Amino acid sequence: MKYRTLGGSGIQVSEFTLGAMMLGAWGTADHGEAVRIVHTALDAGINTVDTADMYSLGESEEIVGKALKGRRDDVVLATKFHNPMGEDPNRRGNSRRWIAQAVEDSLRRLDTDWIDLYQVHRPDPETDLEETLSALSDLVRAGKIRAYGTSAFPASELVEAQWTAERRGLVRPRGEQPPYSILARGIEREVLPVARKYGVGVITWSPLSGGWLSGRYGGPDGADPRTSRRGNTGMVDSLFDMNLPGNRAKLDAVTELKKVAAEAGVSLPTLATAFVRSHPAVTSVIMGPRTMEHLEGMLEGVDVRLDPAILDRIDEVVPPGTDIARDVTFYEPPALTDASLRRRR
């Protein structure tokens, strides 16, 4: 396992991050098995664990807290806030009021005195960015968090956050967590260059593009994507709706990428994660196993490096900066979702 510096923070993180979204009711309901998954990842050299308050409504954080008993000092622990944690409209978002409560809730569930990387799970158009950064800076100075970052922020807001922090004398954000895969390369245009320019570490998620690059689909022996377990979850039905041209294009690309993986002598999932790690702006790649078998399969590719010829072949299938069909990010800017902002009165 190799380690890289998270932006300009000086914090060393493993090239792979253990994502804990599937630990708990959303995936591995057996806490004992979930703890064993965390321990196996740590024993393999992974030193970074990423979770969020919303994952199984706090259960994921509780499991991670159990798993880190006696090992906390050796782990870079990351969690997130923003999404609703109850019916109360103030138990969500990026306000100082909610941040002050959310961090205490996460510290309690994680059974720790500090969080290494506290991340804003999504932008909040209802809250002034300075309000959010000021509250997070106070948490750094209080020692409750070591650094903070963002997730799924567009390049413009990453720049605004850096500018706001500098002008107001606040602590700078040190991390960004965007989706990134061979099939969703849009962040190569602006987000990754901006992150490099401002010394922001990048911990990516969804390297298998919501399961498309799992190896189950594409080619003569591939399964029908519509039969996926995720195809029946109302929130992500569109990921596998083969009536959508983008999804048909994804299936064509996956079929070609299987050939590229065969040329490289690796599985498609290994090709996918190695591709993401090959970008110089990427610090670490989140892998979120649901079972021990999933984790062991992911760990098989930790030492794989792709040579330039294979990367060129990938570029032929999916050109740099291209999103074949946008992955689910669960965030759209108001400029797209609010018709009054794009239609002259």
Catalytically active residues are 55
148 three-class SS: strand
Measured distance CA(212)–CA(218) in Å, rounded: 9
The answer to whether the beta carbons of residues 141 and 171 sit under 8 Å apart is: yes
How far is C-alpha 296 from the geometric centre of its chain's CA atoms? 20
DSSP readout, 169-216?
A: TPPPP-EEE-B-BTTB-GGGTTHHHHHHHTT-EEEEB-TTGGGTTSSS
The answer to whether the beta carbons of residues 49 and 77 sit under 8 Å apart is: yes
**Closest C-alpha to 11, from 284, 195, 207, 197:** 284
Measured distance CA(226)–CA(208) in Å, rounded: 16
CA atoms in the 13 A half-sphere facing the CB of 324: 24
The answer to whether the beta carbons of residues 276 and 21 sit under 8 Å apart is: no
